[in-house]
């Protein structure tokens, strides 16, 4: 019971770890490569060491044994029975390293009293047990048998210590390989993690920049290694990018700002001209057209300046709880005449009670802009719907929609879709909406309504 | 000094001759026995359903006897028996449990030897018969052992030339060669 209680979380931990290590594939790949290289090196070392030590000795031993067997065979062919047996006994008596025995049909010469069973014939050797009377113990020796005209000859050598050495070598090798494996995995993971940690900081900074935080910079350590060089280069690049952004925004702002005053003066003059023309009774149509166009230009400049202000603005402490229902109802009421003019139909649905923290005026602007866009671009006899969801609102229409490749671009300043150029507008509405949405820490996305466009705005649920 | 040396020498000689005498007596007792070793082995194997791990000739209250140790692995019992050479009667029986509190008293070598003996085709009566046939000598002692992964019976035979050792591999039933010097 106690075991199973601990088993479950530990199993979960192991699977979690395994999943993570598989996902962080570069760490795992590096570790695997490193570990297998380490194992290979250790393995090669061990094999070479074995061949030069134990392998060498055992090879020498079997060569010598085979030499001896061959020699005796030749002698058996050359010498007669008694001469051969005499030299054999001499050889058996003098050899300390080899155990020699000759078993004939009626006698036994040498050290062993019988031919061991399941012995192989030379040059193949086999291990068999013998009993040592002197030490009262069993000993495992290896040797082979050779059939001679005189009888069966057994040549063997006591290689028990060599055999033990071999076993010790193998077990030591296995332990060494296991240690190398553990060491490889642990150090590999450690090193790879350290490398990856720095790469991950680059990734997270890149993500922050992507999200619009142009001031984010990669931290630079004092090691002055390749990563630091890369960080410095990326930081320089980011600084340049930020400067360019500021410059572009600054230029448009400066133009808008600087032209506002002369254009204001121009408007006053036109108004004056209009009054004069009115008084003198001449034609005012031309002047009225000029005035309305000038007003449109001034409106665009105002909107551009406001957009810049909004983009630079931080989330303000003046934010209050705002009921989205009220904001949307207000905006719908205001836009209703326009929609009816365009012979469109507006429905507002969804439940009440979606409260967000924000600026009611700005949110109203955003909703109004979106509804205005819908009305402007959807065309006549279309449906426009507003739905309040749990986390925000959705505005959809049944118009032509926006192609997928344009969906990102419409948020850029002054961008206009080719097909909509015939409709009056400056490409400021959607950027303004996005600036407001961002200010509220919310997300805006454009989706297909099949047919038409669906604008989904989601506020951060944590703020509710 | 001289005296002590003399005593030592005398003691050595007497003890040596005692051993020699002992062997001769053992052979004599075995030759006279009306209940043979083979019968004893059969009786013990049947009565105790176990494996004989040791046999020797002993003396029980002035009466020649076979001392046999049997282990029954199923019952986890070890018996030490004294069988009369005259009629095979059990003169003494000591039994001991092989496990105390769940721990085996047998060491690994003994346990391995018994397990291998159980699984092998080895037959002790057949081995004894073969030895008698081959050496024409009296069997005075044998013992089951396991060394270096090899399980074997160590037999001690006695004939006119003296003692002789024969080692029989339990697994193969073959004799293991003996190296004399």
A380 has a pLDDT exceeding 80:
yes
Suggest the residue from A99, A131, A163 to mutate for an interface test with chain B (most B CBs closer than 10 A): A131
- Report which secondary-structure segment, H or E, holds B151: strand B150-159
Tell me the torsion sign for CA atoms A442, A335, A412, A380.
positive
In a domain? residue B88: yes
> Is pLDDT larger for residue A373 or for residue A118?
A373
Q: What pLDDT sits at residue A316? A: 65
Distance CA(B29)–CA(B99), nearest Å, equals 36
Lowest mean pLDDT segment, chosen from A34-38, A277-281, A312-316: A312-316
Sequence-distant (6+) residues with CB within 8 A of B31 are: B138
Tell me whether A167 touches chain B (CB under 8 Å): no
CA atoms within 13 A on the CB side of A29: 5
Q: Which residue of A has its CA nearest to B147?
A: A138
B81 pLDDT higher than 50: yes
Query: Measured between beta carbons, which residues in chain A are less than 8 angstroms from residue B152?
Result: 129, 138
At B18 the pLDDT is 46
Residue B177 lies in a domain: no
What is the tens place of the pLDDT at every residue in A415-425? Answer: 777 777 777 77
Please check whether residue B178 lies inside any domain of the structure: no
Strands (E) located in A257-333: 320-323
pLDDT the model gives residue A44: 94
Name the residue in chain B with its Cα closest to that of A93. Answer: B181
Least confident of A18-22, A268-272, B172-176: A18-22
Q: In chain B, count of helices (H) and strands (E)?
A: 4, 10
Residue A134 contacts B, CB cutoff 8 Å: yes
Element (DSSP H or E) covering residue A313 = none
Residue that the structure tokens 């200010």 belong to:
A439
CA-nearest residue of chain A to B176? Answer: A130
What's the pLDDT at A170?
A: 92
| Per-residue confidence band for A463, with pLDDT thresholds at 50, 70 and 90 | very low
With CA atoms as reference, the chain B residue closest to A139 would be B148
Name every chain B residue with its beta carbon within 8 A of the beta carbon of A131: 165, 167, 176-179
Read off the tokens for A445: 């996305």
Cβ neighbours of residue A22 under 8 Å, at least 6 residues apart? Answer: A28
Q: How far is CA A42 from CA A38, A49, A178, A407, in A?
A: 6, 10, 10, 58
Work out the angle at residue A93's Cα, subtended by the Cα atoms of residues A92 and A97, and round it to the nearest 5 degrees: 70
Contacts of A117 in chain B (CB under 8 A): 172, 174
In CATH, what class is A320-463? alpha beta
Tally of domains within chain B: 1
Q: What is the mean pLDDT of chain A?
A: 84
Q: How far apart are CA B31 and CA A110, in angstroms?
A: 34
The predicted model scores a pTM of 0.53
The answer, yes or no, to whether residue A384 has pLDDT greater than 50, is: yes
**What distance in Å separates the CA atoms of residue A141 and residue A122, rounded to the nearest whole number?**
15
Average pLDDT estimate for B108-118? 82
Which helix (H) or strand (E) segment is A225 a member of?
none
What would the pLDDT profile of A37-94 be if each residue is shown by its tens digit? 989 999 999 999 999 988 998 888 888 888 888 888 888 888 888 888 888 888 888 8
pLDDT in tens, B43-56: 888 888 888 888 88
Q: How far is B86 from chain A (nearest CA, A)?
A: 33
Neighbour tally for A8: CB within 10 Å: 10
- Split at pLDDT 50, 70, 90, the class of B16 is very low
Strand spans (E) along A114-150: 126-132, 137-148
pLDDT value, residue A464 = 39
pLDDT at A121: 82
The winner for highest mean pLDDT among A280-284, A349-353, A395-399 is A395-399
What CA–CA distance (Å, rounded) separates A387 from A51? 81
The answer to which of A190-199, A333-342, B23-32, B114-123 has the lowest mean pLDDT is B23-32
CATH number, position B76: 3.10.450.40
Pick the residue from chain B with its C-alpha nearest to A132.
Answer: B179
Burial (CB count within 10 angstroms: exposed 0-12, middle 13-18, buried 19+), residue A130: buried
Nearest to A90 by CA among A122, B161, A79: A79
pLDDT above 90 coverage of chain B, percent: 0
Name all contacts of A275-279 with Cβ < 8 Å and 24+ positions apart.
Answer: none
Using only the alpha carbons of chain B, give its radius of gyration.
18
Contact (CB<8Å) B178/A113: yes
Does the beta carbon of A115 lie under 8 angstroms from any beta carbon of chain B? yes
Q: Does A337 touch chain B (CB under 8 A)?
A: no
* Close Cβ partners of A388 (under 8 Å, ≥ 6 residues apart): A324, A325, A328, A348, A349, A350, A351, A352, A354
pLDDT grade for A236, boundaries at 50, 70 and 90:
very high
- Could you tell me the pLDDT band of residue B15, with boundaries at 50, 70 and 90? very low
Mean pLDDT is lowest, of A157-161, B19-23, B123-127, for B19-23
Element (H, E) at A207: helix A160-210
Q: Which of A306, A301, A290 is nearest to A258 (CA)?
A: A301
Residue A23: pLDDT above 60? Answer: no
B153 bridge partner residues: B144, B168
Does the predicted interface ipTM exceed a cut of 0.90?
A: no
pLDDT for residue A461: 55
Which pLDDT score is estimated for B17? 44
Q: How far apart are the first and last CA of chain A?
A: 44
Structural domain including B43 reads 2-169
| Nearest chain B Cα distance for residue A109, angstroms | 11
Predicted confidence at residue A73, as pLDDT, reads 86
Do the Cβ atoms of B147 and A116 come within 8 Å? Answer: no
- A-chain CB neighbours of B167 within 8 Å are 131, 138
Q: Following DSSP, what letter does each residue of B60-100 receive, concatenated? A: ETTEEEEEEEEEETTTTEEEEEEEETTT--EEEEEEEESEE
Separation in Å, CA A168 to CA A55, A161, A173, B130, B146: 13, 10, 8, 40, 22
| Pick from A262-276, A382-396, B84-98, B100-114: least confident | B100-114
Helix, strand and coil content of chain B, in percent to the nearest 5, comes to: 35, 40, 25
Residue A240 confidence (pLDDT) above 90: yes
- Candidates A101, A115, A131; nearest CB to B167: A131
How distant, in Å, are the alpha carbons of A207, A217, A233, A413 from that of A240? 18, 12, 11, 20
Q: Which residues of B touch A (CB under 8 A)?
A: 147-148, 150, 152, 165, 167, 169, 172, 174-181
* Among candidates A112, A115, A138 on the partner chain, residue whose Cβ is nearest the Cβ of B150: A138
A225 band by pLDDT with thresholds 50, 70 and 90: confident
Q: How far is A160 from chain B (nearest CA, A)?
A: 11
**Is B133 part of a structural domain of the chain?**
yes
Measure the CA–CA gap between A424 and A376, rounded to whole angstroms.
Answer: 9
How far is residue A384's CA from residue B160's CA, in Å, rounded to a whole number? 125
| Cα pseudo-dihedral A8, A14, A18, A23, rounded to 10 | 70
Judge whether A87 and A74 are in contact, CB under 8 Å: no
Residues ≥6 apart with Cβ < 8 Å to A285: none
Nearest-Cα distance to chain A for B156, in Å, is: 12
Q: Is the pLDDT of residue A31 over 50?
A: yes
Taking the Cβ of residue A116 and every Cβ of chain B, the question of whether any pair is shorter than 8 Å is answered with: yes
């Amino acid at each position: 019971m106690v075991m199973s209680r601990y088993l479950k979380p530990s199993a979960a931990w192991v699977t979690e770890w395994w999943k993570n290590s598989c996902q962080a594939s570069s760490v795992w790949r590096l570790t695997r490569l490193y570990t297998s290289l380490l194992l290979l090196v250790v393995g090669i070392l061990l094999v070479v060491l074995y061949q030069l030590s134990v392998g060498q000795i055992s090879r020498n031993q079997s060569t010598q044994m085979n030499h001896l067997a061959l020699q005796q065979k030749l002698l058996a062919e050359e010498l007669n029975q008694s001469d051969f047996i005499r030299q054999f006994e001499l050889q058996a008596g003098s050899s300390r390293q080899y155990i020699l025995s000759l078993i004939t049909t009626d006698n036994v010469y040498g050290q062993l009293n019988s031919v061991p069973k399941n012995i192989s014939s030379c040059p193949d050797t086999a291990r068999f047990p013998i009993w040592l009377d002197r030490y009262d113990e069993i000993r495992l020796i290896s040797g082979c048998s050779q059939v001679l005209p005189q009888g069966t000859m057994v040549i063997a050598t006591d290689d028990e210590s060599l055999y033990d050495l071999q076993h010790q070598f193998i077990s030591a090798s296995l332990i060494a390989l296991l240690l190398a494996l553990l060491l490889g995995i642990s150090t590999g993971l450690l090193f790879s993690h350290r490398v990856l940690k720095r790469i991950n900081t680059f990734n997270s900074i890149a993500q922050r920049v992507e999200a619009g935080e142009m001031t984010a910079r990669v931290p630079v350590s004092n090691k002055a290694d390749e990563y630091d060089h890369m960080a410095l280069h990326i930081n320089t690049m980011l600084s340049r990018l930020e400067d360019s952004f500021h410059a572009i925004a600054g230029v448009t702002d400066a133009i808008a700002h600087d032209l506002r005053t002369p254009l204001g003066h121009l408007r006053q003059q036109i108004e004056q001209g209009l009054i004069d023309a009115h008084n003198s009774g001449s034609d005012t149509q031309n002047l009225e057209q000029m005035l309305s166009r000038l007003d449109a230009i001034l409106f665009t400049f105002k909107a551009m300046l406001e957009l810049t202000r909004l983009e630079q603005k931080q989330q303000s402490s003046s934010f209050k709880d705002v009921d989205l229902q009220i904001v949307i109802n207000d905006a719908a009421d205001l836009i209703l005449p326009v929609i009816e003019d365009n012979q469109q139909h507006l429905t507002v649905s969804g439940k009440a009670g979606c409260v967000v923290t924000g600026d009611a005026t700005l949110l109203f602007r955003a909703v109004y802009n979106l509804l205005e866009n819908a009305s402007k671009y959807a065309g006549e006899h279309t449906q426009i719907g507003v739905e309040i969801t749990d986390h925000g609102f959705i505005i959809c229409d049944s118009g032509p929609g926006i192609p997928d490749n344009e969906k990102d671009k419409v948020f850029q300043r002054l961008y206009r879709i080719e097909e909509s150029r015939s409709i009056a507008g400056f490409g400021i509405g959607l950027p303004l909406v996005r600036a407001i949405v961002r200010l509220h820490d919310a997300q805006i996305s454009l989706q297909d309504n099949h047919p038409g466009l669906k604008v989904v705005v989601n506020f951060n649920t944590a703020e509710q | 000094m001289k005296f002590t040396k003399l005593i030592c020498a005398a003691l050595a000689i007497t003890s040596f001759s005692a051993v020699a005498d002992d062997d001769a007596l053992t052979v004599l007792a075995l030759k006279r026995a009306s209940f043979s070793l083979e019968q004893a082995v059969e009786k013990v194997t049947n009565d105790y359903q176990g494996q004989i791990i040791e046999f020797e000739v002993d003396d029980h209250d002035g009466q020649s006897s076979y001392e046999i140790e049997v282990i029954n692995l199923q019952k986890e019992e070890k018996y030490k028996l004294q069988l009369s050479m005259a009629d095979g009667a059990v003169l003494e029986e000591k039994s001991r449990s092989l496990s105390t509190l769940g721990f085996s008293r047998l060491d690994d070598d003994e346990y391995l030897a018994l397990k291998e003996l159980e699984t092998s085709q080895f037959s002790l009566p057949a081995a004894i018969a073969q030895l008698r046939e081959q050496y024409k000598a009296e069997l005075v002692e044998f013992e089951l052992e396991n060394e270096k992964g090899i399980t074997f019976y160590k037999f001690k035979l006695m004939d006119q030339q003296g003692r002789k050792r024969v080692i029989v591999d339990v697994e193969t039933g073959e004799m293991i060669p003996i190296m004399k010097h």
